Structure 1
Amino acid sequence: MVKVGVVGYGVIGQRLADGVALQEDMELVGVADVGPTLAVRALKEKGMPYDFYLAVEENREKTEEVGIPISGNLEDLIKKVDIVLDATNAGIGAKNKVLYEKYGKKAIFQGGEKTSVADVFFHGYANYEKGIGKQFLKLTSCNTTGLIRSVDCLDRAVGVDSVMIHIVRRVADPGDYHRGLTNALKVDPVPNHQAVDLMLIMPHVKATGVLVHTPVTHGHFITVFAKPKKKITKEEAIAIFKEHPRIRLVRIADGFLGNASIFRYARDLGNPRGDMYEISIWEETITPFEDHLIYSLHIPQESVVIPETIDGIRAAMEMQTDRLEAVGLTNKYLKIGGYR
């Protein structure tokens, strides 16, 4: 049983803790954060299902004042685990790495950290083998994670020569205030980092793309112009995507009009926090055009990286050396693809 700790109990950390707790071959030892944040207060109100470790000693008094039981400090948690999932704010993970190295522990960092923080830039489906046995892995960003799922899926089926990407990016997560209140779009330079990151994971695929920030909170929208190595029909593309457990095919005709429809559907399913682990591809957007295949997809930015992070535990800890066996177990315990 692999012992796992989550450092940073925020948007991603909460979901990582829940995801690890569902894995029957892993044990969630506990979670760590800086003090009595809203997420930690909610953890207490839920009955403290996870042990809490205080990362900032200066906040001990205020944490105890609100009745949150403290199981130890950050180093206490690190000592007890085999691997740490670092879900702290960008830049903090690199500082925490010193502690992970001090105690000889493995760690997985999220997309906000610089790629140089880790031994391997990791994606569960696209390059699982490269993460096997490594001490430090870094996940791709939420956009890149979902994007690579779809491109890797096509690539393994028919081969992909290149992709052009247009991203409509949500400006902040629900509940965030730090981005301010805006009524504007913001354009990033070409190529966007997701295209560059895709080429780091899949160096045989040429990629470029545009990114537009938009003032919404529920999900990113990506249109991909992929150039397969051989022409495929719409029906063939649909069949390929349907085979991937972490891709959900949706239709405008069924009422999936956009990001809000998918978020509402996830809530109607009873998914915690309205999360969806799968990316969604609209069937009506899957269109062969000359030598390209066009399709559009939805990225549930708060939850999409959870399966690939758990894949990373399996790789780093050498729990499974076969890629499909590893991702299959992650999918099974997270109940991904069960609707098929």
Structure 2
Amino acid sequence: MGTLVLEGLSKRYGAATAVDRVDLAVAEGELVALLGPSGCGKTTTLRAVAGFVEPSAGRVLIGGRDVTRLPAHARDTGMVFQSYALFPHMSVAGNVGFGLEMRRVGRAERDARIREALRLVRLDHLADRLPRQLSGGQQQRVALARALVVGPAVFLLDEPLSNLDAKLRQEVGLEIRALQKRLGLTTLMVTHDQDEALAMADRLVVMEHGRVLQVGSAEDLYERPASPFVAGFVGRCNLLPGRVEAPGLFRTEGGGALPCGPAPAGPGILALRPERIALAAGPDGPGVPARLSALTYLGALTEYHLDLGTGALVAVAPTPPPEDPRRRLRPGDPVRAEWTPASARVLPPEAPTGESR
């Protein structure tokens, strides 16, 4: 296995910049996920690493070797495509062994490596099947085996679970993560699915408009987002514009006074996770008075939409037991919302699109 380093990687298409000076280091055996909305530059970054896109500037280093100008087949990478990209006329074994055949690996060694790769993804009993005879999850595992069989220094995953249904996404995602950890694969993955990234990655890279906004563990990005965009993209978050008027006091644009954590005086955006809000029935007692505008029963959890009169919040809490007064809440009822000041982080206002961050 090797390391992956991107230095000032950029890609421009005429006047449009798809990737803007990305710096990133992926350690040996680490899984890093590029996360962001469609058009943020994550797929272009991955394709530049794979050798399918030529960068306009910057370098790609694999295992310390500069591969920026090398063709895809000379980069020592294995890639799993979103669409699987299996040859429909070839058997499972034929698909897995195609890369080895192109590398002119001898027949005996090729067959041994195909068997081992299929064993790793638990498909050795289906070696003679055609892709159309497999389920979506099985086809994805064939694509994994095909990437693994060449023994790549860097493993690349392009939205590997997007074509699977919800149950299969979770199942195959866990399989990929277990396999990656067991084999110590240095891996770069692209996804737009935050839950997928949170569950699979050692570190997340949040991108927007071709730029890296924040890099860190799932906990770092969830608990300590650097911007309102990251706070809203990684998990759900209430984001209220306003200003810090005094230590521990945030005034919303609607005029509401809310408790907040330490922050300098001035404009900002209050970021408060829905699960950090404690809800009590009735108008009296501690907390911020509000009125329940809607609620959604989600089984183990209930989602409460709160109208503060000067703003709105969403709270999510475990569904209370039948005897709890909150169980009888209905839209229009008065409630109180309470949270610890440290739970309400004040973030700098978002820069308009196109400005530096």
Q: Same fold (TM over 0.5)?
A: no
Between structures 1 and 2, the one with greater strand share:
2
Task: Find the structure with the greater CA-based Rg.
Answer: 2
Task: Report which of the two has the higher share of helix.
Answer: 1
* Structure 1 length-normalised TM: 0.29
